[in-house]
C-alpha cells in the first residue's frame, strides 16, 4: 500500500496545489479557462495521440472492453438518475449528476496515473473507456438533461448539440489519429515529434493543477442557489456511487462477461476497474454551468470524489495490482 501511495500522492498533491492557488488568489479565476483551454486543446490531445500511436491497434479496437464498459456506464446513468429525481432535483440536475457518477476523470488524471502505476500497456484499455464516456455517456446525459423542456424538440435539440460537442472535442480525434499512426506504423518527423512530445509532457501536471483550480472556482462561484442550501443527501449518495458502486459494478459485469466467453484479459479487466475507481471528471462542472444545472451540487460531488479517491483509489490499486 505504501508503494502505491508513493505513486498516487504526487498526482493528488498537484490537484491540491491548484485548489489552494485558486482559493488563496494566487491564480486569478479569470486565468482558469485559459489553463483549461491549454490542456483540452493542446496538451491532452498530444498526450492521447502519443499513447494511441504507441499502442497496438488491437488494444484500441478492443470490443470486449468497449461494450462491457458501455453497459456499466448505461447502468450507472440510469441508476443515478432514478435515485436523484425529486421535487427539487429535476432532469437537468439529475442528468448532470448521473454524468459525474458514470464519467471518471480518465483523460486529465487517469491515463497518466495508470501508466505510472501499471506501465504503458495500461493506456490502451483506458483510452477505450475515454471514447465510451466522451462519445456516448456524455451525449446521453446532455440529451436527458433537456427532458424538463416541453415537447420532443428540446430533447432532439439537446441531442444534436451533444453530438456537435463530440465532433468539436479534440480528444476523440487525437485518439483516432494516434490509432491511424499505430495501424500504419507511421511516425512524426523530428521537429514535429519534439513539439508534440513537449506538449504531451506538460499535459499531466497542468491538467492536475487545473482540476484543483476548477474545483475551487466552482465552489467560490456557487454561493447563490435557486433551491436553497445544499444538503448532504444531494451529493453524498452520488459521490459514494461513483467511488464504490462504479468499480464494483465494472468488476462484476466484466467478470460475468469473461465467464460468458467475452475476450477480456485479466490486465484489461484490472484497468477498467481502476478507471471506474477514479474520481469524477472535473470538466463536467464547466458543462453544468453551460447547461444551467446546479453547479454547486456538481462541484461538491467532484470535490468529494477527488479528495476521497486518494484513499479509495489507492486501496483499489493495492487490492488489484499483482
Per-residue pLDDT at 156: 63
Per-residue pLDDT at 266: 94
Q: Report pTM.
A: 0.86
Residue 310 sits in a domain of what CATH number?
1.20.1530.20
263 SS3 class: coil
Distance CA 11, CA 262 (A): 34
Ranges of the chain whose pLDDT falls below 70: 148-166, 221-230
Per-residue pLDDT at 107: 86
In a domain, 66, yes or no: yes
For Cα atoms 101, 107, 108, give the angle at the middle one, nearest 5 degrees: 95
Work out the number of other CB atoms within 10 angstroms of the CB of residue 297.
Answer: 24
Handedness of CA 7, 197, 108, 250 (dihedral sign): negative
In a domain, 320, yes or no: no
Per-residue pLDDT at 159: 62
Per-residue pLDDT at 321: 84
Per-residue pLDDT at 75: 96
Per-residue pLDDT at 85: 84
265 SS3 class: coil
Distance CA 175, CA 149 (A): 34
The pairs formed by 246-250 with CB atoms below 8 angstroms and a separation of 24 or more are 246/72, 246/76, 246/101, 246/102, 246/104, 246/276, 246/277, 247/273, 247/274, 247/276, 247/277, 247/316, 249/72, 249/75, 249/76, 249/276, 250/68, 250/69, 250/72, 250/275, 250/276
**Contact assessment for residue 322 and residue 117, using Cβ atoms and an 8 Å cutoff:** no
In a domain, 206, yes or no: yes
Per-residue pLDDT at 279: 94
Per-residue pLDDT at 139: 85
Distance CA 192, CA 241 (A): 43
In a domain, 165, yes or no: yes
Per-residue pLDDT at 134: 87
Domain that holds residue 132: 2-314
In a domain, 32, yes or no: yes
Per-residue pLDDT at 283: 80
In a domain, 319, yes or no: no
In a domain, 279, yes or no: yes
Q: What is the count of structural domains for the chain?
A: 1
Per-residue pLDDT at 104: 95
In a domain, 321, yes or no: no
Q: Quote the crossing angle between the two packed helices 232-240 and 295-320, to the nearest 10°.
A: 30
Amino acid at each position: 500500500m505504501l508503494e502505491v501511495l508513493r505513486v498516487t500522492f504526487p498526482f493528488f498533491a498537484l490537484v491540491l496545489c491548484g485548489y489552494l492557488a485558486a482559493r488563496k488568489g494566487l491564480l486569478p479565476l479569470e486565468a482558469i479557462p485559459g489553463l483549461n483551454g491549454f490542456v483540452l486543446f493542446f496538451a491532452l490531445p498530444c498526450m492521447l495521440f502519443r499513447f494511441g500511436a504507441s499502442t497496438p491497434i488491437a488494444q484500441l479496437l478492443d470490443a470486449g472492453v468497449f461494450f462491457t464498459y458501455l453497459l456499466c456506464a448505461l447502468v450507472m446513468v440510469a441508476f443515478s438518475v432514478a435515485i436523484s429525481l425529486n421535487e427539487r432535483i429535476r432532469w437537468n440536475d439529475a442528468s448532470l449528476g448521473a454524468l459525474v457518477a458514470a464519467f471518471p476523470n480518465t483523460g486529465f488524471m487517469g491515463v497518466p496515473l495508470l501508466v505510472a502505476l501499471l506501465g504503458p500497456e495500461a493506456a490502451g484499455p483506458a483510452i477505450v473507456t475515454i471514447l465510451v464516456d466522451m462519445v456516448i455517456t456524455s451525449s446521453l446525459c446532455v440529451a436527458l438533461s433537456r427532458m424538463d423542456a416541453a415537447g420532443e424538440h428540446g430533447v432532439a435539440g439537446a441531442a444534436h448539440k451533444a453530438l456537435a460537442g463530440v465532433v468539436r472535442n479534440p480528444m476523440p480525434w487525437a485518439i483516432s489519429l494516434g490509432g491511424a499512426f499505430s495501424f500504419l506504423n507511421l511516425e512524426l518527423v523530428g521537429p514535429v515529434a519534439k513539439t508534440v512530445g513537449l506538449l504531451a509532457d506538460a499535459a499531466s501536471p497542468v491538467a492536475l493543477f487545473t482540476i484543483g483550480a476548477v474545483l475551487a472556482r466552482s465552489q467560490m462561484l456557487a454561493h447563490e442557489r435557486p433551491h436553497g442550501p445544499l444538503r448532504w443527501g444531494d451529493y453524498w449518495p452520488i459521490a459514494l456511487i461513483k467511488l464504490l458502486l462504479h468499480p464494483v459494478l465494472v468488476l462484476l459485469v466484466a467478470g460475468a462477461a469473461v465467464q460468458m466467453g467475452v475476450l477480456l484479459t485479466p490486465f484489461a479487466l484490472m484497468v477498467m476497474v481502476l478507471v471506474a475507481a477514479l474520481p469524477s471528471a472535473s470538466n463536467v462542472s464547466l458543462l453544468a454551468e453551460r447547461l444551467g444545472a446546479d453547479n454547486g451540487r456538481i462541484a461538491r460531488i467532484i470535490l468529494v470524489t477527488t479528495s476521497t479517491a486518494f484513499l479509495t483509489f489507492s486501496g483499489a490499486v493495492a487490492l488489484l495490482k499483482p
